[in-house]
Structure 1
Amino acid sequence: MTKLSVNINKIATLRNSRGGNVPNLLKVATDIENFGAEGITIHPRPDERHIRYQDARDLKKTVTTEYNIEGNPIKSFMDLVLEVKPTQVTLVPDAVDAITSNAGWDTINNQAFLQEVIAEFQNKGIRTSIFIDTDLKLIEAAAKTGTDRIELYTEQFASEYEKGNKVAVKPYTEAAILAHKLGLGINAGHDLSLDNIKFFKDNIPNLDEVSIGHALIAESLYLGLENVVSMYLHRLK
């Protein structure tokens, strides 16, 4: 069964655009869980332009499902995660000024660094995941870092699927098969939507979790948040 973790960064963006606390991030997270989602994801960045570090601390007190914090393991991020102790940390090699994540880890050249970071999180009982592309050599190297899971970076799939190219899922299927064989759990995220999620899930064996934010929140503007969460759960199960 594939779990749905909802990324609430866009809720924080909307709140921050006017100041104050509307919409209330903590209430929205609780509502999303009550609607059936099995996890809450946040991706705080150093400039706190959407999720603030304090949000990460506050959500720890209210999230009752799986709690996933994504980000580049710079010192401030690592300190935050070690303090909050979420269910999972997803390591993403994004630049400080990146609008959104746009590449996976080079797990070959960064292997020693990732091994050190992952060991530190795991020593605190935090499950680790590495944001990664579908290159099989990178998947093999990811297994050597000691990570618990990988998160397949799905932008390329989503872009090609929108053009009608369903064969674009093949590298993801092959990556998932290899990852499972190597003992890794499999997550996925980035540009997954109501349009493509069922096809993707049906073609990715042993898919543990998808993390969806931008599309889900945009779709909710038309269809309503509770309805959209339910629609994703239906497609995933």
Structure 2
Amino acid sequence: MFAEERQQLIAERARTDGRVDVSALAVDFDVTTETIRRDLTALEHQGVVKKVHGGAIPLERLGFEPTVAARDTVQTDAKERIAHAALAEVPEEGAILLDSGTTTARIAEALPADRELTVVTNSVSIATLLTAKPRLTVLIVGGKVRGRTMAAVDDWALRALADTYVDVAFIGANGISVERGLTTPDTGEAAVKRAMIGASRKTVVVADHTKVGNDCLARFGTLDQVDTFITDSSLDADLVAELEAADLKVVRA
């Protein structure tokens, strides 16, 4: 078994059980405890777990959320593929909404510069990025800016979204599962994401495979509110089948 495969299984077990133990993992995978510790270190650097004495715990289940800078270095190839697949959902003209996040930021980077579009976003960094494309009309949703994600949240953002209606909303999620739907660690961001779903004719969720099966603190939507879920090709076929059985269209990039 390759290290990446073992680490994915460890991450899934941590999310399911709430904690993993170094000694037990070493026995189950028939490797040394030092190998498992290296795996946990790699997962910690990816923002998936936090190492504790004797093992590790999943960060997002505890409500911890890595910074934008930390998340931007994780699953980069997958996010690029997801972003380019998402371009098929962008209309030739009209209005779209880009949620804050590192995957949606890649959609912003990939948007054709010659297309007449209005882009609404609650991300300071995405709005700044889009100013380099002068044919786009960029509207930034106001509100309190969370330093961890550079996203505008709270009442000002919700009031603006209440008066907004776009063709397509591209929304990120920290967790997506059949049981809990769409989740994120922060209640303020959950409220904004919920309002974004209500402000769009079509909702496209973009998230890499590590988010599937994960449940975070705050739910902001159910799977039946999503038109398309775009993820990467590393998502397990059984999980794809489970999502599709819940009548969710899944695209693996």
Name the TM-score, length of structure 2 as normaliser. Answer: 0.32
Name the TM-score, length of structure 1 as normaliser. Answer: 0.33
Q: Which has the higher contact order (CA 8 A, sep 6+)?
A: 1
Max Rg structure: 2
Kindly indicate which of the two structures has a greater share of residues assigned to strand.
2
Kindly indicate which of the two structures has a greater share of residues assigned to helix.
1
